[in-house]
Structure 1
């Protein structure tokens, strides 16, 4: 009888230990896959990925707390019915189209070898810190922005702060860029800077077939959407839909339905960022980006900002992403989130 009681106690304690281990955030680094997985209650929320093919570190995939993937899978995975345009749109990322004349934004494995000297690459260096505590976690990594000849233009230090609050998965990205031994100029251009490419279902409905040509002559054909495409943009200034593109504001949210659930993705600018409030490069086909440094194209030539960093000088960019499942978030909720985020230095 004593043995049975003792065994029951051991089993009870083991069950409690396992339950505690499965509660809250955990971080698993998988160097062989070049991934750092961010899990909540043992379920993947996202992963910090530094694949050679991505030409930059990204968060991929990005899931809701209840397991719905909100990011497009291409080019890392093939999903039936999903668009295969813009191979450089991968997960959540931060880079820019013109840095000392080099295109970091459009770089991908689709670029011809003969043209690769026109592009820049962000190369992950190391994970320097990772912490978890209940419903919060943080990951800090370093990277370098390099030319095709491996000349370093920028040193990057990025911290991701993750948190879960009920049905909200919140990602705060704080990135400090420091110029190496040369002046770095971010030319005023359209494509940048902090972005997510969303799943097909979260795009804005469109019956039009479109083609996009970047400044290197690469053509991307975009087909019409189907009935399952349900997205809609809402800006902090009251604009909605395609009108959000080229607008200024401290936040934009994208709503839509996927896997039978209502999804909201919100991106919030920070008052300390250069160019605040940012212009929004929010496209109906699924690109959702804040571009604080591109002013000319969005303002029809009324503004221009060619931002520069002298050698050894730094600039920090701060952004919040809210991934919500359940009833669509309201403008009031986004306003409160923006106020709270603005208090973080």
Structure 2
């Protein structure tokens, strides 16, 4: 009976208002028509949006600690509080690609359309997992690639960790991923912790600042600062199991991107074209740590990366 009660408490409810969700420990999810509302220890920590008429790719917004402190920029940006640039390109946390077979899935010119949930949200043992299927369509609506995404969120002592595993399936034709700055896993941090407002960027090699870390290869980059006097931050991690290392497109106004494709764009060599032959696939694996640690605590972040990398 106790096991049945636990499973029932961990169910995902299809409702139209977040207050219809039941309170519980660990993760909980409210599924709406266009998004998942994700909570941890009864506190909202993220939204996963899979259907947005303005932003033509799935994304996470409103990433928070359980304390309520938000590490990503408000979405949409709040006039007078946030910089309002790129509101439809930088919604919080996303995978975007400025050039796949000449189509632009970063600037919302082509559609990374959500098709279905391959696995419905399942929460147990301080972990939440779900999986989706997308279809990458040209600007004219022609299918050119299938994409599967597997998400795992885990509670951590310093906050929580998202593992995002994305696989491109070249079902329809050969797929070529081009060379741009705007290719990969990106995040836009809260206005209060941008480098312009006193926040700090550090990478796994111990380099600080957007200027020093831009274009450099690294296992991870952390963007952190203080909100209401309390340390908060977000770390993006690129798995060593990826087909090659990631270079970093980091800016002092709050965006940072793990990019394994933009070799020439990042001043690291000749033009890159990554080809997936028809019938083949390519998998990328990234981690995202939402934490309450200052970036000077490099040991904590390095340990978190090691746990992420070994968590298969």
TM-score by length of 2: 0.87
Unaligned runs of 5+ residues in structure 2 are 1-8, 10-21
Matched, 1:185 2:176: yes
Q: 1:83·1:200 contact (CA, 8 Å) conserved in 2?
A: yes
Distance 1:29 1:264 in 2: 27
Distance 1:311 1:148 in 2: 21
Distance 1:326 1:249 in 2: 20
Aligned in 2, Cα 1:327/1:296: closer, same or farther, shift over 3 Å?
A: closer
Distance 1:142 1:299 in 2: 34
Aligned in 2, Cα 1:95/1:270: closer, same or farther, shift over 3 Å?
A: same
Distance 2:296 2:279 in 1: 41
- Residue 154 of structure 2 aligns with which residue? 163
Q: 2:201·2:222 contact (CA, 8 Å) conserved in 1?
A: yes
Matched, 1:304 2:271: yes
Distance 1:157 1:290 in 2: 19
Matched, 1:90 2:80: no
Runs of 4+ aligned residues of structure 1 deviating over 6 Å after TM superposition are none
- Residue 138 of structure 1 aligns with which residue? 129
Q: 2:200·2:295 contact (CA, 8 Å) conserved in 1?
A: no
Q: RMSD between aligned alpha carbons?
A: 1.9
Give per-residue Cα distances to partners, 1:217-276, cap 9 Å, x unaligned. xxxxxxxxxxxx121111111211021111111111112111331112111110111222
- Residue 128 of structure 1 aligns with which residue? 118
Unaligned runs of 5+ residues in structure 1 are 1-16, 108-118, 206-228
Q: CA deviation at 1:152?
A: 1.0
- Residue 24 of structure 1 aligns with which residue? 26
> 3-state DSSP class of the match of 2:107?
coil
> 3-state DSSP class of the match of 1:53?
coil
Distance 1:40 1:329 in 2: 26
Of 289, 292, 305, the residue aligned with 1:325 is 292
